[in-house]
């Protein structure tokens, strides 16, 4: 098991209910694939450094989790096709 961190930027045009359901589905993806979530940081709506998909703002989340090496690969494949995800980055933390 390794430690990973997922940085996630979601579409700012989502309603509160849609935002919560989108974030919950991403959290469920992690849990179903066997990852254990250690910490979730919600930074809220922030200004982007540059425009992405005609958006200047985004909802920022940072999720720390422990998992095997195949989970980030599976998660990245799912996030890549998720419409409301503007950007994501998964890194492995060195301990």
Residue 1 has pLDDT above 90, yes or no: no
Tally of domains in the chain: 1
Q: Is 9 helix (H, G, I), strand (E, B) or coil?
A: strand
Q: Are 52 and 11 in contact (CB under 8 A)?
A: no
**Is the pTM of the predicted complex or chain greater than 0.95?**
no
- 23-72 pLDDT per residue, tens: 999 999 999 988 999 999 999 999 999 999 999 999 999 999 999 989 99
Structural domain harbouring 59: 2-92
- What CATH number has the domain bearing residue 13? 3.30.70.60
Q: List C-alpha distances in Å: 91 to 6, 16, 58, 76, 81.
A: 7, 28, 20, 11, 19
């Amino acid at each position: 098991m390794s430690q990973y961190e997922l940085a996630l930027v979601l579409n700012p045009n989502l309603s509160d209910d849609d935002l919560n359901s989108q974030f919950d589905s991403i959290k469920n993806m992690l849990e179903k694939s066997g990852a254990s979530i250690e910490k979730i940081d919600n930074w809220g709506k922030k200004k982007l450094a540059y425009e992405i998909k005609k958006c200047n703002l985004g909802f920022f989340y940072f999720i720390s989790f422990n998992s095997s090496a195949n989970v980030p690969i599976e998660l990245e494949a799912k996030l890549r096709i998720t419409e409301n995800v503007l950007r994501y980055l998964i890194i492995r933390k060195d301990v």
